[in-house]
C-alpha cells in the first residue's frame, strides 16, 4: 500500500501531458483496445470527415449542440 501511494504522488507531480499518458496506459491495461473496433471507428470517422468536406453534411456548432442537450434534460 505504501508503494502505491508513492506511485500516485509521483504521477501527480508529472506535467499534465505526461499524466494523461499514464492515465491512458492504465485505462488500456484495464480495458485493452480492440483492433477490430478501432478499425471500424476509423472507417466511421473517415466517412464523416468526407461528408463534411463534400458539403453533404453541415456541421453544428458545439454551443448549439450543448444547448439542445441542456434543454432536453431540463424538461
pLDDT tens-digit readout, 21-68: 999 999 999 988 899 999 999 999 999 999 999 999 999 999 999 999
Query: 50: domain range?
Result: 35-74
DSSP secondary structure code for residue 26 in this structure? H
Nearest to 24 by CA among 39, 11, 10, 13: 11
Task: Report the number of distinct structural domains present in the chain.
Answer: 2
Shared-domain flag, residues 64 and 51: yes
Shared-domain flag, residues 2 and 26: yes
Shared-domain flag, residues 44 and 66: yes
Q: What is the pLDDT of residues 6-20, one digit of tens each?
A: 999 999 999 999 999
- Model-level pTM greater than 0.85? no
Q: What's the sign of the alpha-carbon dihedral 56, 61, 64, 65?
A: positive
3-state class of 34 per DSSP?
Answer: coil
Amino acid at each position: 500500500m505504501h508503494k502505491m501511494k508513492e506511485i500516485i504522488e509521483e504521477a501527480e507531480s508529472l506535467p499534465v501531458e505526461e499524466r494523461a499518458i499514464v492515465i491512458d496506459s492504465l485505462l488500456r491495461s484495464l480495458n485493452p483496445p480492440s483492433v477490430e473496433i478501432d478499425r471500424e471507428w476509423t472507417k466511421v470517422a473517415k466517412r464523416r470527415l468526407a461528408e463534411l468536406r463534400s458539403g453533404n453534411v453541415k456541421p453544428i456548432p458545439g454551443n448549439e449542440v450543448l444547448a439542445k442537450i441542456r434543454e432536453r434534460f431540463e424538461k
